Amino acid sequence: MSADANIVRCPSCGTRNRLPVSASGHPRCASCKAPLPWLVAAGDGDFSAAIDTSMPVLVDLWAPWCGPCRMIAPAVEKAATDYAGKLKAIKVNVDQAPQIASRYDAWSIPTLLMLRDGKVVSRQVGAVPQGQLLDWVGREIDA
């Protein structure tokens, strides 16, 4: 993910694509039409719109000062890439979105949530190895 959290590079052709926080359907590359990893940043103001999708949603509740949060960030990005077209990943900086952190009882970070139809179906608290995180995401998507 780039410095602008809503710009994603296409894994197939490298084109930079702007992704909306909310939209219907599944994002595709403007150039090659390949499915894009739908990885966006959201906060208190746009979170409800961001989770309004028919896809499973992986929410990463994190903070920039949190070492374990930085450790799992590449795994969250990999999950979004590996499950492009099947998963939406949303990064929420809890320092900038205290209402979302409170709503989901994120007393420890990183906290990862899997949502379906806006409801929490699974939760992972703390940093885990990339393989374990990807296995968790895969099980939740296949559920």
Residue-wise pLDDT for 97-124, tens only, equals 999 999 999 999 999 999 999 999 999 9
Phi, psi of 139 (to 5 degrees): -60, -40
Contact 91, 5 (CB under 8 A): yes
Among positive and negative, which fits the CA dihedral 115, 116, 117, 121? Answer: negative
Is the pLDDT confidence value at 19 over 90? no
Q: For residue 110, which of 125, 99, 98 has the smallest C-alpha distance?
A: 125
* Angle, helices 130-142/67-82, rounded to nearest 10 degrees: 50
Q: Say which CATH topology domain 37-142 has.
A: Glutaredoxin (3.40.30)
> In the predicted model, is pLDDT for residue 5 greater than 90?
no
Q: Which residues are catalytic?
A: 66, 69
Task: Identify which of 84, 92, 18 has the alpha carbon closest to the alpha carbon of residue 56.
Answer: 84
pLDDT at 23 over 90: no
Average pLDDT over the chain reads 91
Q: What is the pLDDT of residue 4?
A: 43
* pLDDT at 142 (0 to 100): 86
